[in-house]
Amino acid sequence: MAARADQTTDPRLQEELLQARRGTAFFARKLNELSDAALDGGTRLPGWTRRHVVAHVGYNARAIARLVDWAATGVETPMYSSPEARGQEINFGATLSPIALRNLFDHSAVHLSVEWRDLPAEAWSHEVRTAQGRTVPASETVWMRTREVWMHAVDLDNGASFADIPAPVLGRLLQDITGAWSARGTDAGLLVTVTGAGVDGTELKFGDTGAGNPTIITGPLPAVVEWAAGRGARGVTTVGPGANGAVPAAPKWI
């Protein structure tokens, strides 16, 4: 029997689904490299062990699958009943046995992939609501998952880096992050330049591009996204009035 394929025929959406599934496979590889005992180790997220990261990624797949089901059926199924319930779920998941925690990730990832596969082409435009209250088309769920699996694979802190994340994903992440800053007005006087990112190796600029004397953060795309996402300042430099001899912390993203 031939394997069933995604119902969508939109080339762009098919490429985005491929990127999400590649990110899931990358996270799975980094998780499988960890021994059961290593799951108790720390991560790049303060206060979270690897158990918390794996639980979060697993339950995130279930939450996004609920949105896909919403798009398919028209029956409202929120990602989480409340922010508190989301936090409690992650904390509970972190207490699972290693085999149960690994199964949570594996089974939830397969379930989400199947939900995407079976979503009728016309349903991808149906609107759903994210945990942050944004109303988005169901197609946005693919990006929501993509950024989770790629970034949290790095957060496991067992060898993955932002340089492992595909450039298109990094570019969209940076647009998301700097867009959030702009919406809140927290990027005033802050200019982010990405070296070697253009077709001709030209610099790309984000943030307060109209500032007269900005604090300028400069570096290659992986390093700039790592800094912008609040994961450290390796590989970036800074000049300007806000530097004070050190790279400042990035504004809050989410």
Residue that is last in its domain, among 114, 131, 158 = 158
Number of domains in the chain: 2
Is there a domain that residue 6 lies in? no
215 in the same domain as 195: yes
Is there a domain that residue 90 lies in? yes
Tens-level pLDDT at each residue, the chain (254 residues): 445 788 999 999 999 999 999 999 999 999 999 999 999 999 999 999 999 999 999 999 999 999 999 999 999 999 998 889 899 999 999 999 999 999 999 999 999 999 999 999 999 999 999 988 899 999 999 999 999 999 999 999 999 999 999 999 999 999 999 999 988 888 888 899 998 765 455 678 888 888 788 889 999 999 999 999 999 999 999 988 766 668 888 998 87
138 in the same domain as 23: yes
> Which residue range(s) make up the domain with 204?
169-239
How far, in Å, CA of 46 to CA of 88, rounded?
A: 17
How far, in Å, CA of 231 to CA of 225, rounded?
A: 9
The pLDDT of residue 1 is: 42
Residue type at position 21 = R
Is there a domain that residue 244 lies in? no
101 in the same domain as 217: no
40 in the same domain as 154: yes
The pLDDT of residue 196 is: 79
51 in the same domain as 149: yes
The pLDDT of residue 188 is: 86
189 in the same domain as 133: no
Estimate the crossing angle of helix 83-93 against helix 50-73, to 10 degrees: 130
- With H, G, I as helix, E, B as strand and everything else as coil, classify residue 240: coil
151 in the same domain as 58: yes
Output the domain CATH number for residue 33. 1.20.120.450
Residue that is last in its domain, among 113, 132, 158 = 158
Is there a domain that residue 24 lies in? yes
48 in the same domain as 141: yes
Taking alpha carbons only, the member of 24, 12, 4, 14 closest to residue 145 is: 24
How far, in Å, CA of 64 to CA of 69, rounded?
A: 9
Residue that is last in its domain, among 158, 184, 216 = 158
179 in the same domain as 101: no
153 in the same domain as 200: no
The pLDDT of residue 2 is: 46
Helix (H) or strand (E) holding 231: none
Is there a domain that residue 4 lies in? no
Q: Residues 216-231, buried b or exposed e (16+ Cβ, 10 A)?
A: bbbbbbbbbbbbbbbb
Is there a domain that residue 5 lies in? no
Output the domain CATH number for residue 185. 3.30.1050.20
173 in the same domain as 154: no
Is there a domain that residue 249 lies in? no
129 in the same domain as 48: yes
